[in-house]
Structure 1
Amino acid sequence: MSPAPLLSIRNLRHRYGETTALDDVSIDIGENEFFALLGPSGCGKTTLLRAIAGFEHPHEGEIFLDGRSLLDVPANRRPINLMFQSYALFPHMSVERNIAYGLESEGLPRAEVRARVEEVIETVGLGSFARRRPTALSGGQRQRVALARAIVKRPRLLLLDEPLSALDRQVRAEMQLELKRLQHEVGLTFVVVTHDQEEAMSMADRIAVLDHGRVRQVDAPSQLYANPADLFVAAFIGTSTRFAGTLTATGIDTAFGAVPGDHSGAVGEPGALVVRPEDVHLGPVGSGRVDGVVIDTTFHGGASSVRLELDGGLGVLTGTVHADRLPARGERLGADWSAERARIVAVEPAPTAQGAVSG
C-alpha cells in the first residue's frame, strides 16, 4: 500500500469572472518530492500555486495537507512558505537579519533564532556573507538568501514561483542543481511553478503539465518525454516532429503509409506520430521512409540538429547528427527513425480559451 500523499488536490475549479483558470484539477504530491507545475503562460499554474498558499479561494474542490483540509485555514496559518519570484528581500537588513525576520516575528527565543539562522546559512553556502546586505550580493546569492529565509521556518511545503527567472543562463543552470541538492538536504517538499521545460525536467521528480487550466499529464520527466499522453504534451515537452494521421486498431495511417503501434485513442479519430530528433537516421536518398532537402543546420557542439523539408509536402523533420557529419544546406537525404521509439498519440482538442489567465 502506497503512503498517503502530503498534498492532495481534488477537483479544483477556479474562475475569474467568465475566465476559467482551473478546470477540475486533481494532483497528489508526496513527502519530500520535488514537484513542478509546468505549462505555457495562461495555463493556470500560478493560480494553482496561489490556491495552495491560501491567496486564492477556489470555487470548487478541496486541498488537503497531511489529510487536513486547507480551505478554511488562512494563508498565514498554513504550514507552507512561498518564495516569490522577486525574492522580496529587505535591502536595509543583512543576510542574517533577512533570514531571521520571520522567526523573530513569531517571538521565538533569541538563542533558537540564532541557532536556526546559522544552520541554514551554512546549508545554502552563505556563511561568509552573513553580514552583507542584499545589494552587495550577486543574483544567485540573493536567490539563496530568499531560499534560506523560506526554509528556516521549517514549513511542511515550500512553494516557489518562477524562482530562477531573474538569473542569467549560466547562474540559472548552477542554481537548478543547487535547488535540487538543497531540497534533498533539508528534506522538504518543493512545488515549483515554471514555464521553462528545461528547468522542470532537470530539477523535478515529477511534473504536472497544465494547459488551459487542465492537467494534461502527471509523470516523471523521462516518461513525459518518452510517453506523452497526447499531442499537446508531445509538442510542449522537448523537440519533435509530428506527422498527422488517423488512428487505427493497430496504429496510425499517415501520408506515407500505415505505422503500427499502441495508442490510447479511439479508432477513426485524429492522431499523430511523434518522432524525436535523436531517433532519426539520415542517409542517402531512398534509404528511409521519406526523402527531403536540408534547409537548416544548427551546431550545438558534439551534436547538431538538421532540419529536412520533406518531399510531398509532409512537413519538416528534425534530426540529430554528430557534429563532424553535418550535411550541407541544400543536400538531399533520405530519413528514417526507430519505429519502437516513435509514439502514437491522440489529438486532444484544447479547451476553448475564455480569456487570458496569469500563470
Structure 2
Amino acid sequence: MTIPAVTPVTPVTRSAAPLLDIQGVNHSYGSVAALKDISLSIADNEFFALLGPSGCGKTTLLRSIAGFETPTHGAILLDGVDLTTLPAHKRPVNMMFQSYALFPHMSVEKNVAYGLESEGVPRAESRRRVGEILEIVGLTDMAQRRPAKLSGGQRQRVALARAIVKRPRLLLLDEPLSALDRKVRAEMQLELKRMQHEVGMTFVVVTHDQEEAMSMADRIAVLNQGRVEQLDTPLGLYSRPATRFVASFIGSANLFDGRATTDGIDVPGLGTFAVPSELPSGSSATLVVRPEDVVLVGPSEATMSGIVVDTFFLGGSSTVSIEVPGQEHPINCTVHAANVASYGDRVGLKFDLPRCVVVANPGG
C-alpha cells in the first residue's frame, strides 16, 4: 500500500507573553466560595478548556472573564490590561452561550450581521465579513434560511459565526455542544477545532464532558471545588495525573489505595509495586493503572490472578473485568481483540509499571 505524502503543518506562532493572565482570582456567593485562588495563563491562538464536574467553578470563572461576574479578589489581564473593573460590553471578549440565542425572525445572514450593524460597521464591510465567516462555517448556501429551518449543528455554527465575526481577541464558549446529539456533537468537536485554526483566535471553552475537552483543547485546566487540580495537555492529564481526582475524572482508571514506600507503593492484598513517586514514605497513596496498562498473561508470568466477571465488546477493543481476591472492585483491562476471555475464566494479569503513576490519597 502506498502511503500518501503528508503536507507539513505550519505551527501556530505564539508570543512569549500570555494573551490572558488570571492572577489569584477568588469569588464567593455569600458564604460559598466558588473560586479559590485561581491562577493560570492562556496563550494567543490557543484552544483552552475549563473542565470539571457541576459546581466546580468553571462557569463562574468564564463569566468573570466575560465581565458578568466581578471577582472578590485577584486580577484578570488581557494583553497586559486589567479587565477586572471593566464592564462586559467594553471588553474585547465575546461569549457564545449554551442556548445559542438566535433571532428566530432573522435569516442566518442577518443573525450573523446583527452585532456588526449594532456597532455601526459600514454595510459593505459588514457584508464582506459575514460572507467570509459563513464560508468558514460552511453555511454560505443557507444564508437566507431562518433558524427554524436549520439542524442543531447548523444553528450552533450560526451562533459561532455571529460570535467570531466581531473579531474579539478572545472567544468564550459555555457548553457549546451540550444541546447536540452524540453523533453531531462528535462532528462539531472536529469542526470547532478546524474553525479555531482558520480564524486564528483564542477559544476558551467550558465543559463537563472530558471527551469533548480532550479531543479539542491544546491545554485543559481541571477544576474541582473552586480550585485548579491540574493544568496540562490532554496527554499529560491522562498519562500523568497529578491528583487522585484527576486520575478518576479523566478517562477510566483502576485505583489501588496503599502506602508510599522507598521502593514505590505497597497495596494491601497485592504487594509492593516499583513505581517512583516523591511522596514521603508511609504516606497515604494511590496507584493509578489505566485499563490498557493491565496485561493479560499466562499463569507462569502473572503477578496476580482472578476470575473474569464481565466483558464489554467495544468494536476495536474489549474491556474485561476481573475479580481479584482481596480487592473491593474488579480490575478493568482493555484488550484489542473480541473474545480473549469469557465469563468465569481464570486469568493471570500484571501491570505495565513504567506507565503507572502514584499520587497522594488525601482521604487515606
Scaled to the shorter chain, the TM-score interval is over 0.9
- Match of 1:219? 232
Contact 2:257 2:361 in 1 (8 A): no
Q: Structure 1, residues 254-308: CA drift from partner, whole Å, max 9, x if none?
A: 1222212222333321111111111111134463222111111111002010111
Contact 1:263 1:346 in 2 (8 A): no
Cα distance, 1:130–1:239 mapped onto 2, change above 3 Å: same
Question: Is 1:57 aligned to residue 67 of structure 2?
Answer: no
Contact 1:240 1:275 in 2 (8 A): yes
Cα distance in 1, alignment partners of residues 251 and 63 from structure 2: 27
Question: Is 1:194 aligned to residue 207 of structure 2?
Answer: yes
Cα distance, 1:254–1:347 mapped onto 2, change above 3 Å: same
Question: Is 1:347 aligned to residue 329 of structure 2?
Answer: no
Cα distance in 2, alignment partners of residues 123 and 37 from structure 1: 25
Cα distance in 1, alignment partners of residues 54 and 195 from structure 2: 28
- Match of 1:87? 100
Measured after TM superposition, the shift of residue 325 of structure 1 is 3.3
- Match of 2:112? 99
- Match of 1:166? 179
- Residue of 228, 241, 245 corresponding to 2:254: 241
* Matched residue type, 1:151: I
Contact 1:232 1:348 in 2 (8 A): no
Structure 2: which 5+ residue stretches go unaligned? 1-13
Contact 2:70 2:85 in 1 (8 A): no
Cα distance in 2, alignment partners of residues 265 and 40 from structure 1: 27
- Match of 2:6? none
Cα distance in 2, alignment partners of residues 79 and 200 from structure 1: 24
Cα distance, 1:39–1:101 mapped onto 2, change above 3 Å: same
Measured after TM superposition, the shift of residue 349 of structure 1 is 5.3
1:102-251 matches, within 5 Å, as 102-251=115-264
* Matched residue type, 2:191: E
RMSD: 1.5
* Matched residue type, 1:304: S
- Match of 1:48? 61
- Match of 1:326? 340
Cα distance in 1, alignment partners of residues 262 and 221 from structure 2: 29
> The residue matched to 1:313 in structure 2 has which SS?
coil
> The residue matched to 1:323 in structure 2 has which SS?
coil
TM-score, length-scaled by structure 1? 0.95
Cα distance in 2, alignment partners of residues 102 and 323 from structure 1: 53
Measured after TM superposition, the shift of residue 230 of structure 1 is 1.0
> The residue matched to 1:223 in structure 2 has which SS?
helix
- Match of 1:292? 306
Cα distance in 1, alignment partners of residues 276 and 44 from structure 2: 34
- Match of 1:78? 91
* Matched residue type, 2:183: Q
Measured after TM superposition, the shift of residue 197 of structure 1 is 0.3
Measured after TM superposition, the shift of residue 243 of structure 1 is 0.7
- Match of 2:4? none
Structure 1: which 5+ residue stretches go unaligned? 351-359
Percent identity over the alignment? 61
* Matched residue type, 1:55: F
- Residue of 327, 333, 349 corresponding to 1:335: 349
Cα distance in 2, alignment partners of residues 286 and 254 from structure 1: 22
Question: Is 1:69 aligned to residue 82 of structure 2?
Answer: yes
Higher relative contact order (CA 8 A, sep 6+): 1
Contact 2:318 2:338 in 1 (8 A): no
- Match of 1:23? 36
- Residue of 263, 270, 282 corresponding to 2:277: 263
Q: Structure 1, residues 311-348: CA drift from partner, whole Å, max 9, x if none?
A: 12353111011333331111111111211111111124
* Matched residue type, 2:331: L
Cα distance in 1, alignment partners of residues 27 and 254 from structure 2: 34
- Runs of 4+ in structure 1 deviating by more than 6 angstroms, as ranges, are none
- Match of 2:52? 39
- Match of 1:354? none
State which drifts further: 129-138 or 278-287: 278-287
TM-score, length-scaled by structure 2? 0.94
Q: Structure 1, residues 195-222: CA drift from partner, whole Å, max 9, x if none?
A: 0000000000000000000000000000
